[in-house]
Structure 1
Amino acid sequence: MAEFGSLGEGETQGRLLVVEAEEIEANNILQLIRAADVVIEGFPDQEHGNTAGFELPDDASEQASIFKNIFQTTGFFERFSFKRERPVAVAMAVNAWPDRRIVYAIHKLSRCYETEAITPWSAHPRFGQIFEKHSDEFSDHVRSSIAINLAFSAIEEMKLQVKSSREKPRWLDNKYTWNPTVLMDLKSRLDRVGINPERTFDWIVRGDETEIPIEPVRDQFSAYSDGKIVRDVQFSLPDAIHACSYLRNFVTAHAFGKSTQRLGPYEVYNVQQVARFLILSICGLFNVWTRDLMEQMALQLKCDES
């Protein structure tokens, strides 16, 4: 492997992921892992590797020939991708695989990021407002709407949307007091999948007050908000899920109106972040990284040996 360059400090040889399955199932597994990569990163994959598996014969000599004459050749070798958090993506795929709805949720959010995304670090409060909040280009309005619809559809796949109707309204009054029945239903569904319904969520709001106002308007700023450039709001998790549905129901899902041109990257980012948190949490991987999995594996091996 010397022709591909020497290892840098702290680097190790890569590992080849081999899936023993029929072609369609193997491709579904690999594509799910790749989609999980995007969800974990919170940003689309900039490396264009293979989207399908490479069939390996059973004969050992034929395998060796493929490794030497195909995999290790310049041009093909570069198509292999490295992701530091790839083990977390594999764990996400494993945890999601038994539930087709979670699989679809991951794919939908991955495609959402590929449709429109900002880098996660750019939403950090230290950077204030980096992006223009609105665009006059019609195609941008369509792209942002598609991204929001995909992200919210991922939430629906997990059955974690607010369930209300004319007979069972979301609010009790014009002050937007939650209907206890509707709120308890959502909280119980969150609780059943291991998500704390009392968790809070920072909804990103930057720059001048030109964004689409989310009803109900909550006036509780995040701890780091300055009330000027950084006007991020702290939502309860149910309020954050409602805010996603508000954008989908009243702005993006139907014929466009005056509010559509006020969509921008921060609205897309917020809905993506809610969906991402729910997916990671339902897979038991929120705030879990490769080093955590390695520590868990080492501990398990130690327990098995004792």
Structure 2
Amino acid sequence: MGIYRTHLIIDQSDSLKIKKLKIDNAKFILAQEPSNCFWEAKDGRSFGHYMGGRDPEFARKDEIPQVELLIETESKEKAEDLLSIIHGGMLLAYPEPGLTTNFVFLKEYIEDENKWYTKKPFSNYLKRIEHVGFGCQIASLAVKDKKLIYAIEKYKVSLELASFTPKSADPRYGQVFDNYDLKHSYHTRSAFAIVSAFSIIEELGLEIRSSSANPRFLNNETGEWNPKVLKNINDRLTEANIDKKLTFDWIYRGEPTKIELETKPLFGVDSKWIVYHEDVRDKTLTYPEAIHHASYLRNFIASHKFKELTQYISPYDVNNVQLLARQLIIRKMEMWETMMAN
């Protein structure tokens, strides 16, 4: 077994969460942060970063040092794999595009090297990033199920290709992004972001299962479901800890796009917050309805040979499928309430 440093700085709130976790053939260790740069108030309400470090002897009485997350496991490769899942869990808590690639690196823990981190540039390798505790909680559950691991890794890939923060989707801000981008590189990235995100739904076994012999709808214009198909997806959603009463809000901003106008059936009722801004046309859908919309984007717009409509994929189309996949992962893992409480 070896010990590897993640360069992730942990506060006391996350420390308490991580100390409770157990993983087969691996262990989380919380070690003294080597640079003496990262401190927080004992009550956890504030934190400070001291350039060049701070001598513990001169720390204030109401301050405590933060710690670094180490991983003990049998090889560096296994530690890197676990860190990657933790990274995915952090992005599930809050999908920050800047965090998809600008993360941390792993190296073997050598105690004598701690003194390096008291000097630049080594101290800059240490990073305090939010939601590490939640990421570790997600990882401790996901390692038991390869389907969950692949779902999380696909989520990361999708975010790397094209994504924006939840704040940018806040209805108070209206339409933040243009619905059309003329660049072919964007069309390609956004299409594969949708393909990756929808693949998560398939990984979880929550795609809608229909065929020519067992059609999805009895009437495509009105959206009248085939009862057998609807029961099948609802049963699988229930097994995945997703209650039938839960709904999903699909984002529509600005004028209707060509893809929206071509989508049939088009589900949903006006979301309760559309009064916030004239550019907001969001719709509240059931989960089967949302999965259908996601599959329409994947099947007829984003995958295989690109179509004429592919160029009209908007950032909101991508975000909708990513957000749906994100919710399905977290709810299946029964971590939604835990995430909301963080």
Give TM-score scaled by structure 1 length: 0.86
Equivalent residue for 1:74? Answer: 120
Equivalent residue for 1:200? Answer: 247
Q: Which residue identity lines up with residue 220 of structure 1 in the other structure?
A: V
Unaligned runs of 5+ in 1: 57-62, 293-306
**How has the CA–CA distance of structure 1 residues 7 and 25 changed in structure 2, closer, same or farther, with 3 Å as cutoff?**
closer
CA distance in 1, matches of 2:270, 2:144: 39
1:48 to 87, 102, 111: 102
Equivalent residue for 2:12? Answer: none
Deviations 1:255-285 (A, max 9, x none): 1112112111000010011001011111221
Query: After superposition, where does 1:274-285 map in structure 2 within 5 Å?
Result: 274-285=324-335
Report the aligned-residue RMSD. Answer: 2.2
Equivalent residue for 1:191? Answer: 238
Matched, 1:272 2:318: no
Aligned-pair distance for 1:198? 2.8
**How has the CA–CA distance of structure 1 residues 219 and 239 changed in structure 2, closer, same or farther, with 3 Å as cutoff?**
closer
Structure 1 residue ranges (4+ consecutive) displaced by more than 6 angstroms after TM superposition: none
Deviation larger for 77-86 or 157-166: 77-86
CA distance in 2, matches of 1:194, 1:35: 21
Unaligned runs of 5+ in 2: 1-32, 48-63
Equivalent residue for 1:298? Answer: none
Greater per-residue strand proportion: 2
Equivalent residue for 2:71? Answer: 19
Q: Which residue identity lines up with residue 30 of structure 1 in the other structure?
A: L
1:254 to 304, 308, 333: 304
Q: Which residue identity lines up with residue 79 of structure 2 in the other structure?
A: A
What percentage of aligned pairs have identical amino acids? Answer: 32
Query: After superposition, where does 1:30-45 map in structure 2 within 5 Å?
Result: 30-45=83-98
Contact 1:48 1:79 in 2 (8 A): no
Instruction: Answer 1 or 2: higher relative contact order, Cα 8 Å, separation at least 6.
Output: 1
Equivalent residue for 1:95? Answer: 141
CA distance in 2, matches of 1:198, 1:80: 43
2:271 to 222, 241, 261: 222
Number of corresponding residues: 284
Aligned-pair distance for 1:287? 4.0
Task: Describe the SS at the equivalent of 2:135.
Answer: helix
Task: Describe the SS at the equivalent of 1:18.
Answer: strand
2:208 to 149, 162, 175: 162
Greater per-residue helix proportion: 1
Aligned-pair distance for 1:84? 2.5
Give TM-score scaled by structure 2 length: 0.77
